[in-house]
């Protein structure tokens, strides 16, 4: 029998980034490590038939701006689940022993 440890769930407010890519693009910032869920709501835009693509990257402050960069930690998107209640659930993993700043970006079609 498999033993599943329930990872923590991080509620995030996705902010539309304004760039047109054929879909609607959003991103959110937070800190974590290990296995966790990113959770957000996009009312009127997401249902279980939505196609959602997600990425994760480490972020830092460069020239007084938050910018993504390639750090030493492996960061992974494991699953993306659009739901009929307009919510998006993204399972992520950061292979590091302490919390790191990260950005999750999604595009909804």
Statement: residue 8 has pLDDT above 90: no
Claim: this prediction has a pTM higher than 0.85: no
SS3 33: coil
> 64-99, pLDDT tens digit by residue?
999 999 999 999 999 999 999 999 999 999 999 999
**pLDDT digit string, tens, across residues 16-49:** 766 655 788 899 999 999 999 999 999 999 999 9
If you write DSSP's letter for every residue of 60-94 in order, what string do you get?
EEETTEEEEE--SSEEEEEEEEE-TTSEEEEEEEE
Confidence (pLDDT) at 4: 54
């Amino acid at each position: 029998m498999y033993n599943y440890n329930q990872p923590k769930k991080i509620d995030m407010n996705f902010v539309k980034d304004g760039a047109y890519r054929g879909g609607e693009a959003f991103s959110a910032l937070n800190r974590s490590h290990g296995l966790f869920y990113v959770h957000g709501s996009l009312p009127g835009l997401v249902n279980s038939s939505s196609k959602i693509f997600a990425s994760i990257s480490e972020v830092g402050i460069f020239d007084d701006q938050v910018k993504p960069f390639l750090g030493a930690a492996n960061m992974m998107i494991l699953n993306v689940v659009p739901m009929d209640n307009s919510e998006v659930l993204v399972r992520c993993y950061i292979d590091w022993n302490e919390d790191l700043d990260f950005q999750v970006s999604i595009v909804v079609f």
